Chain A
Amino acid sequence: MRLSRDTAAFRLISHPSGAIGLILLILVAAMAVSAGWLFPAGPWTMVGAPRVWPGADPRFPLGTDSMGRDILTELFYGSRVSLAIGIVSALVSLVFGTLVGAIAGYYGRWIDDLLMRLTDAVQTIPSFLAAIAIVGVIGPSLTTITIAIAIVSWPMIARLVRADFLKLRSLDFVQSCRIIGMSDLRIIFTQILPNCLAPIIVSSSVLVATAIIVEASLSFLGLGDPNVMSWGTILNVGRQELRSGWYMTAIPALALVVTVLALNLISDALNDSLNPRLKERS
């Protein structure tokens, strides 16, 4: 098992889009990690004149916003929020979606009906509107935003996992586990789940990308956590200056595009490297 995981990791690195995606993502992660050391003053301090264009002052390579804050600093701190919310909300929806999908697919019958109708119900709600509603009602904070994103994105995972469980539960090796006396929980987690990890892993990177976009959109609309600087916050501030200083929105938007692109490239490469049928091709 260790050997096959190593080879999958190797295929991911040697995959062209996997390599590019990983490099970009590592850069963004490095920004998040180094923000505190490089810019100890924090993103909120006024450091110079407002509306300095990028390149005009060597102290502010990416310029300053309408409040005279350094956009480069804001960008570094914003990557922390984006990555943290993206990863945590993806994890939460992954765990919840997997549980719902596994139970529905394994037990079938009325449990399946019940859980899948619930999934349908959540899925029919436009997810961004639902996120706005949840954050609007509970109040904006990192926790509520994370939970709101997780609530709207678990159904996709649940459907995916359920489909695989439906397929795998009737296979002889699963039946054989029941015959040797294995409990249902143990069968679900040690026998079936490891055999349907590939699609879950692939979709999890898309999940992170979606979560980052939703968070940025919420902040852009002013529904972000007012105590943290996220890319969406920069967008929100820059929006008012869109005609005179479009760079204030273009720069954080570019950071979002690069991060989401990196995650999609990785997802693509994961799909290829985890798919055993494509092994021979690469």
Chain B
Amino acid sequence: MSAILKTRDLKLHHKTARGPLRAVDGISLTLDEGETLGLVGESGCGKSTLARCIVGISEPTDGVLEIAGVTDGARRPSRHQRARAVQMIFQDPSGALNPRLKVDRIIEEPLMVHGIGSRAERKARVLETAEKVGLAAHHLKRLPHELSGGQRQRVSIARSLTLDPGILVCDEAVSALDVSIQAQVLNLFLDLQKELGLAYLFISHDLSVVRYISHRIAVMYLGRIVEIGPAEEVWKRRSHPYTRALVGAIPDEAVRRDGAELLEGDVPSPVNLPSGCRFRTRCPLAQAKCATDEPALADVGGGLSVACHFPG
């Protein structure tokens, strides 16, 4: 399998009066064709900013971003080029659709922008894509507010699929849906991956959702990846104390019994980062060393990499 998305030391620092706000602070990851990489972390850890950099709504301030072989930088992909390689699904399906346009027009728009096909061909393509995501023909003449949340998210998915992208960035794509609908949409994502060979960057704060859909999981804290590896390894070994805390926060008795402690306090400000390890202020294992040396991602076996001086 070859990598369809690569980032190397990707950074996005916002300028603020009190110094740079390190929203994304050196992310290196790869996403293979047809693979799902789950990205978890608390709100404010930079997950969404990373997603915005990848789809091109935000400009990274430093680092390399390579999408489908086209490198960011000197030969930066244009908005047009990038659209064919990577698309995004948003959290709130009602905000992601233009309230004044009918569903068929919303799904057709990417084809119109890229000048693909004749009118009749586009119509056929819209119908085909709509069926693929489980929408019926009678949904196509409706306005977004006349559909349910799950149906709206299907419309978003159909819209993003019309350009045949290799990568779909799903930013909390199921978080706003009812639990029963969540399962349906997650299964739709799995089916589409099987059928179309899509690669997903699946962002969520919910580790149990991410574990269900991902091949690999990356755990993010304050703009950095603190643990990355195969989904089951991350889930079972929980090598980084932050991963343990995230698992411990899942309101499920069977998991909680493991004795993981709940996190206390808030995420430190990304403007004023702690010295050394950024997690040390909330870490139950923190030692003197953690305040001086910042741990780098290191292989701990089983394909798992962890950024901690005392991996469990």
Interface residues of A (CB under 8 A from B): 1, 171-173, 175-183, 186, 191, 194-195
- Cβ A181 vs Cβ B114 within 8 A: yes
Are A176 and B82 interface neighbours, CB within 8 A? no
B1-9, B39-47, B92-100, B205-213: which lies at the interface = B92-100
Closest A residue to B111 by CB, please name it: A180
Q: Does B49 sit at the interface, judged by CB under 8 A?
A: no
What residues of B have a CB within 8 angstroms of the CB of A178 in the complex? 56-57, 79
**Does residue B83 face the partner (Cβ distance < 8 Å to A)?**
yes
- The answer on a CB contact under 8 Å between A181 and B98 is no
Q: Does B226 contact A (CB under 8 A)?
A: no
**Do the beta carbons of A171 and B100 come within 8 Å of each other?**
no
B219 lies within 8 A of chain A by Cβ: no
**A177 CA / B108 CA spacing, docked (Å):** 12
Interface size in chain B (residues, C-beta < 8 A): 31
Contact A173 to B80, CB < 8 A, known contacts A179-B56, A180-B87, A186-B113? no
Q: Is B55 an interface residue (CB 8 A)?
A: yes
Digit string of B81-113 for contact with A (CB within 8 Å is 1, else 0)? 111101110111001111111100000011001
**Closest CB in chain A relative to B143 CB, distance in Å:** 8
Interfacial chain A residues near B82, Cβ < 8 Å: 181
Chain B residues with Cβ under 8 A from A177's Cβ?
109
A191 touches B98 (CB 8 A): yes
Specify which chain A residues have a CB less than 8 angstroms from the CB of B113 in the assembled complex.
180-182, 186
Interface residues of A, dominant DSSP? helix
Q: Is the CB of B55 within 8 A of A179?
A: yes
Partner of A180, one of B83, B92, B97, B102: B83
* Closest Cβ neighbor of B110 among chain A residues: A180
CA–CA, A282 and B112, complex, Å: 38
Q: How far is the CB of A273 from chain B (nearest CB, A)?
A: 16
Ordered by A's residue number, 26 sampled pairs between the chains whose C-beta atoms are within 8 Å are A171-B95, A172-B91, A172-B95, A173-B95, A173-B96, A173-B97, A173-B98, A176-B97, A176-B159, A178-B56, A178-B57, A179-B56, A179-B83, A179-B87, A180-B83, A180-B110, A180-B113, A180-B159, A180-B160, A180-B163, A181-B84, A182-B79, A182-B113, A186-B113, A195-B99, A195-B100
**How many whole Å from B56's CB to the nearest CB in chain A?**
7
Q: Which residues of A contact B163 (CB under 8 A)?
A: 180-181
Q: Among A179, A183, A186, A195, which residue has its beta carbon within 8 angstroms of that of B98?
A: A195
Instruction: Contact check, A194 vs B100: say whether CB atoms are below 8 A apart.
Output: yes
Given A179-B83, A179-B88, A180-B163, 20 more A-B residue pairs with CB atoms under 8 Å apart are: A1-B102, A172-B90, A173-B95, A173-B96, A173-B99, A175-B57, A176-B90, A176-B159, A178-B79, A179-B56, A179-B86, A180-B83, A180-B109, A180-B160, A181-B81, A181-B84, A181-B163, A191-B98, A194-B100, A195-B100
A172 touches B159 (CB 8 A): no
**Are B56 and A172 in contact (CB-based, < 8 A)?**
no
B84: chain A residues at CB < 8 Å are 181
- Tell me the bound Cα distance from A191 to B88 in angstroms: 18
Say yes or no: A172-B92 contact (C-beta < 8 A), given A178-B57, A179-B55.
yes
A183 to chain B, nearest CB (A): 8
User: In the complex, what's the smallest C-beta–C-beta distance from A131 to chain B, in angstroms?
Assistant: 37
**A181 and B96 in contact, given A176-B90, A186-B113 (Cβ under 8 angstroms):** no
CA distance A178 to B80 in the complex (A): 9
- B residues less than 8 Å from A182 (CB atoms): 79, 109, 113
List chain A residues, Cβ under 8 A from B98: 173, 191, 195
Residues in B51-95 with C-beta less than 8 Å from chain A: 55-57, 79-84, 86-88, 90-92, 95
Shortest distance between the CB of A171 and any CB in chain B (Å) = 6
A175 closest partner in B (C-beta): B57
- Min CB gap B156→A, angstroms: 8
Interchain nearest-CB distance for A120 vs B (Å): 24
CB contact between A181 and one of B57, B92, B95, B110 (< 8 Å): that residue: B110
CB atoms of B100 and A1 under 8 A apart? yes
Could you tell me the distance between the alpha carbons of A135 and B215 in the complex, rounded to whole angstroms? 73
Given contacts A171-B95, A172-B90, A173-B95, contact A179 B57 (CB under 8 A): yes
